[in-house]
Amino acid sequence: MTLPIEDYAFLGDMKTSALIGSNGDVDWLCLPRFDSGACFAALLGDAGNGRWSMAPAGEHRMSARRYRPDSLVLETEFRSEDGVVRVVDCMPVDAHRTCLIRRVEGVEGRVRMRSEALMRFDYGSIVPWVRKEGRRLHLVAGPDSCYLDSDVEFDVGATDSPVAEFTVAAGESTDFVLIWTPARAAAPEPVDADALIERTDGFWRKWASECTYEGEYRDAVVRSLITLKALTHSPGGGIVAAATTSLPEQLGGVRNWDYRYCWLRDATLTLLTLLESGYTQAAVEWREWLLRAVAGEPAQMRIMYGIEGERRLPELELDWLSGYEGSRPVRTGNEAAQQWQLDVYGEVMDVFHQARDHGIPPQEQAWELQRHLMDFLESHWREPDNGIWEMRGPRRHFTHSKIMAWTAVDRAISGVERFGLEGPAEKWRRLRDDIFEDVCSNGYDPERRAFTQYYGSSALDASLLMASSVGFLPATDERMRGTVDAVQRELCRGGLVERYSMTEATEQVDGLPPGEGVFLPCTFWLVDNLVMQGRVDEGRGIFEHLLSLRNDLGLLAEEYDTDAGRLVGNFPQALSHIALVNSAFELERGRNGPAQRRANSRGG
């Protein structure tokens, strides 16, 4: 049976990632990239879809697990009647290879261990051909090839399921190294597992030491930043939204999406997180990735891209996988990549503005791109779109989208006013005023004293909490106070925020049956608003409640099921960790936090 999402640990090498359960099973590993087919896909099916187990052979229990301090090296201890063993897992940050190392260390007594390497390429659908070469296994099918080196021999009597049993005594260790190569490449040389583990540990500790945050939530901030770094594709700079596909937003439901891509909606928040934390070079790499990805005609700009900027992300359903706890369909690719979302123009304009505002040297092509975006927005901002939540129903005039169009124009004005860039500032000011008036006339309900999800509706939408952080209105404006109050009154469950009003009529808007968990990033946005309104203690209480929802390793998914008391949605979720870091800075600095400074960067 698949474990709860919070029982998984996350490993990554900035090319791809793995999820390892508290039982020692690798249930998810995509090779060689984040968006490649999984060779261990039990997470979305069962053991027959690929799993690599590592645990005592007899009765046992997991007694402790942790990451090494400020590192992404995982240590899991198992206790049996014969003693204690520690499994050390890591994915070395190595430009020359992609591999997963598993070391078994004896801690107490003598423990009999069992490991089963059931590999299935292409999301559990292809049984590889297995060749044994001494203590090396070669597993190959089509374009994919893996070598499994170990200090013990595997029994390949059942060639589709190699098994090794061995004993580890206190003070002894046994190493396993899984290396991916293209099928026609030469066999890789064996690696020094001990040296790679220590080098990987040192890499992460050094990177974490550069974090400038020294507040009371440093451990949570550093763990979130390490997670974001591991979700970054190197050397390109794109950050995937999550390590997984199709972990459900509602257990047993159909809201199961592939998040192994890079979303523009997260662009500015990502940049601010990196800059606030002292990672200027990572912020520069993110900006450069963004510039490459969106290059070309503004009308062709996508809401998301592949990790190298790919635009075609065809959505497919993998019908041979039963889904996480029966949540089907299992999808790869994402049809939302073809949607029209007005808000991404605001995110792109803002990210280049924030980079300049924080002293990152300007990129020559950036302003030229921004001028093209402005020309496009001027004639398209009145069009309905699919909105930030990628609604699969009819396009509508979503209020958040219009506010982000306003943000785009405002940042263009700031480019002229504050940085001396060339552009028709007066024309843009008139355009900004037109959008502002349009939003306040059509997207605000004076009876409810709140902004609504789309023009003419009475539904609420938590994305409108962002209006104060982009500078559309001060957080203390009565319209924003009313919106925050309405969100707390109508969208909160257990003190956590839903994305938008969800009723039986919701399907007409998003094209899906109602039902999902509360959305963790939206709850962090509520924290930011409360702090900007001076309600710091209230915001801190919600923030600390959010911290309590992390798993034992400090990781968050996208959503939380308040009824089941479980994390749901893809995992770990970059946007959740981005929002956590920004809210921690907000609480440390009060009204001078990143959200308020972003709001203050608006044009005159």
Q: Is 28 helix (H, G, I), strand (E, B) or coil?
A: strand
Would you state the structure tokens that stand for residue 34, as one six-digit string?
A: 């984040």
Whether 160 has a pLDDT exceeding 80, the answer reads no
596-603 mean pLDDT: 87
Distance CA 491, CA 462 (A): 8
Query: For the segment 407-432, what is each residue's pLDDT rounded down to a tens digit?
Result: 999 999 999 999 999 999 999 999 99
Least confident of 144-148, 291-295, 339-343, 573-577: 291-295
Q: Between these two residues, 524 and 358, which has the higher pLDDT value?
A: 524
Angle at the Cα of 244 from the Cα atoms of 241 and 249, rounded to 5 degrees: 85
Mean pLDDT, rounded, of the chain: 95
User: In 3D, which of 360, 334, 340, 471 has the Cα closest to residue 411?
Assistant: 471
CA-based torsion, 350, 353, 357, 360: positive or negative: positive
Whether 577 has a pLDDT exceeding 80, the answer reads yes
Residue 159 confidence (pLDDT):
64
77-81 mean pLDDT: 97
267-295 mean pLDDT: 91
Distance CA 3, CA 20 (A): 10
Structural domains in the chain?
5-186 (2.70.98.40), 208-591 (1.50.10.10)
- What separation in angstroms does the CA of 321 have from each of 79, 172, 465? 33, 39, 38
Residue 452 pLDDT class (50, 70, 90 cuts): very high
Residue 503 pLDDT class (50, 70, 90 cuts): confident
User: In 3D, which of 464, 476, 315, 458 has the Cα closest to residue 388?
Assistant: 464
Residue 277 is classified by DSSP as T
Would you state the structure tokens that stand for residue 15, as one six-digit string?
A: 């090319």
Distance CA 603, CA 470 (A): 11
Residue 528 confidence (pLDDT):
97
The identity of residue 421, as a single letter, is L
Q: Between these two residues, 299 and 329, which has the higher pLDDT value?
A: 329
Residue 163 confidence (pLDDT):
95
Residue 4 is classified by DSSP as P
Q: What is the H or E stretch that residue 399 is in?
A: helix 399-419
| Three-state SS sequence of 109-136 | EEEEEEEEEECCHHHHCECCEEEEECCE
Q: Which long-range contacts (CB under 8 A, 24 or more apart) does 160-163 make?
A: 160/118, 160/127, 160/130, 161/116, 161/117, 161/118, 162/116, 162/117, 162/130, 162/132, 162/137, 163/114, 163/115, 163/116, 163/117
User: In 3D, which of 333, 453, 452 has the Cα closest to residue 388?
Assistant: 453
Distance CA 56, CA 393 (A): 51
Residue 513 confidence (pLDDT):
86
User: In 3D, which of 115, 102, 56 has the Cα closest to residue 75?
Assistant: 102
Residue 258 pLDDT class (50, 70, 90 cuts): very high
CB-side exposure of 185: number of CA atoms within 13 Å? 15
Whether 35 has a pLDDT exceeding 90, the answer reads yes
Q: To 10 degrees, what angle do helices 193-209 and 218-230 make?
A: 120
Distance CA 517, CA 496 (A): 10
Backbone angles phi, psi at 101, to 5 degrees: -110, 135
Q: How many percent of the chain have pLDDT more than 70?
A: 100
Residue 298: cis peptide before it, omega within 30 degrees of 0? no
461-465 mean pLDDT: 98
Distance CA 13, CA 450 (A): 44
Q: Is 335 helix (H, G, I), strand (E, B) or coil?
A: helix
Q: Is 215 helix (H, G, I), strand (E, B) or coil?
A: coil
Calculate the dihedral angle through the C-alpha atoms of 293, 297, 301, 307, rounding to the nearest 10 degrees: -20
Residue 236 pLDDT class (50, 70, 90 cuts): confident
250-273 mean pLDDT: 93
Angle at the Cα of 489 from the Cα atoms of 486 and 492, rounded to 5 degrees: 110
Residue 158 confidence (pLDDT):
66
Residues in the chain: 604
CA-based torsion, 528, 532, 533, 536: positive or negative: positive
- pTM tops 0.85: yes
| Three-state SS sequence of 449-512 | CEECCECCCCCCEHHHHHHCCCCCCCCCCHHHHHHHHHHHHHCEECCEECCECCCHHHHHHHCC
- What separation in angstroms does the CA of 240 have from each of 16, 236, 285, 600? 10, 11, 14, 29
Query: For the segment 112-121, what is each residue's pLDDT rounded down to a tens digit?
Result: 999 999 999 9
